[in-house]
Amino acid sequence: MFPDDETIDAPGEVPFVLPKHVRFARSLALVSGAVIGLAAGAAVFGSGCNSCTGICGAYGVQGVQPYDAQYDTPVSHADARADGAGDAGAREVPPDGHAGGGPRPAPHLPADWLA
């Protein structure tokens, strides 16, 4: 945990359940109606956040939008899975799965899903 990754925000503010990096991700997902700019040398902004909390210190990477913390959903480490695989935390995974990087193609639905 890094120092800013607090579960309790400043007095008078709604306490957050989630760590800051997840709140940051959600702020991106819940923004709408934004313009994506491509100005030379400038940040590629969405919109919505206008107060950088310094989550990463990068220009153009702004902080967390205010939102209602009642929607925070903490997760258990090994969430139950519908297919009975159960423990998502104990399987071999492809070697690239932990190296960050960009996306892979969306998987095609297998034949038994198309019946």
At its nearest, how many Å lie between other proteins and the CB of residue 9? 16
Smaller CB distance to other proteins: residue 12 or 112? 112
Q: Which long-range contacts (CB under 8 A, 24 or more apart) does 40-45 make?
A: none
Q: Per CB under 8 A, does 69 bind other proteins?
A: no
88 interacts with other proteins by CB under 8 A: yes
- Quickly count helices (H) and strands (E) in the chain: 2, 0
Q: Does 33 bind other proteins (CB under 8 A)?
A: yes
Contact status: 6 vs other proteins (CB under 8 A): no
Take residue 17 and report the two structure tokens written for it.
Answer: 């359940």
Does 14 interact with other proteins (rule: CB under 8 A)?
A: no
Q: Which token pair is 24?
A: 């940051």
Contact 6, 20 (CB under 8 A): yes
- Using rule CB under 8 A, residue 21 touches other proteins: yes
Considering the rule CB under 8 A, would residue 110 count as an interface residue with other proteins?
yes
Helices (H), the chain: 20-29, 111-114
Interface residue with other proteins among 7, 25, 66, 86 (CB under 8 A) is 25
Q: Count of residues binding other proteins (CB under 8 A)?
A: 75
Mapped onto helix, strand or coil, the DSSP state of residue 67 is: coil
